[in-house]
Amino acid sequence: MTDLALPARLRRPLFRPGIVLASVVLVAAVAACLAAPLLWPLDESAVDLARTRLAPSWAHLAGTDDLGRDVAHRSLYGLRVSLLVGAVAALVAAGIGGLVGTVAATCGGRVDRALMRVVDTIAALPHLLLGIFIVAMLRPSLAAVILSIGLTHWLSTARIVRSELLSLRTRPFVDAAVAGGASRTRVLTRHLLPHVLPRIALATTLMVPHAVWHETALSFLGLGLPPHLASLGNMINDGQRSLLTGAWWASLVPGLLLVAVTLALAALTGRWRDRLDPRVRAELHL
């Protein structure tokens, strides 16, 4: 198959300028987050009322907030928290979705129908409102935010795993394994799950940017992490009070950092999806 015979979305080169830029942004952000505790420790209780709302300068590249804290310094720590919450919440959601999808596909019958009705019911509810309800029940904390995101974002993974397992069960290699005397558990663990795990991994990575935005939204509404902890949502929420005084940098800098990192994550995970999707690989003969 020649390049001219491929659809336009499959003729895109692997290393495009946008992908390279996204990789650079993401690597730089992660490296800065990892190096910040070693090179620039943060004391959450430290305030300097003599330096409140200073404009960006060489001493404070992103200015200071209404308590005299360096905005760039706190933004790095806020990004660390957002990425941690996004990654862990995506893993929690993938675990729940994978388990539910596997049980529904393997049990079938009433169990399958009951689980899918649960999925449909939760999918009909607004994710943000359901997340707010869960956090309110558990009280705002890091664990509560992770659970609220994980418990509201497993639905797509469950559907993907269920549909993939139902499709694989009709394949000839499964019939051959059953005819050879393989048990139901062995067929699931040795022949079915290895084909499903790449899909779960892909769904997990695609979920991370959304989970980061969800955590930021909860913190912005005052229902995420405790207000004194550095997180991008808390900083944007605190910074909006400074806008009327002209201190635009207090919320703009963490907001731009959030947009840049999540767009980089979305671009890279979307490119990985295009490269690893089985239908695309089959058409490209990879």
The token duo for 170 is: 């009709």
Tens digit of each residue's pLDDT (9 = 90 or more) over 71-103: 887 888 888 888 888 889 989 999 999 899 888
Domain assignment present for residue 185? The answer is yes
Domain assignment present for residue 136? The answer is yes
Domain assignment present for residue 41? The answer is no
Three-state DSSP state, 149: helix
> Cα(57)–Cα(64) distance, rounded to whole angstroms?
10
Which residues, at least 6 apart from 242, have a Cβ–Cβ distance to it below 8 Å?
Answer: 53, 65, 66, 248, 250, 251
Is residue 194 a contact partner of residue 251, using CB atoms and an 8 Å limit?
no
- Segments of the chain with pLDDT less than 50: 1-14, 279-286
Domain assignment present for residue 116? The answer is yes
Domain assignment present for residue 194? The answer is yes
Using alpha carbons, select from 51, 96, 73, 53 the residue that is nearest to residue 248: 53
Q: Which domain holds residue 148?
A: 83-226
At 162, which amino acid appears? R
How many separate domains does the chain show? 1
CATH number of the domain at 214, please.
1.10.3720.10
Domain assignment present for residue 192? The answer is yes
At 268, which amino acid appears? L
Using alpha carbons, select from 90, 83, 84 the residue that is nearest to residue 200: 90
pLDDT at 96: 92
Domain assignment present for residue 166? The answer is yes
Domain assignment present for residue 276? The answer is no
> Cα(36)–Cα(141) distance, rounded to whole angstroms?
22
Mean pLDDT, rounded, of the chain: 76
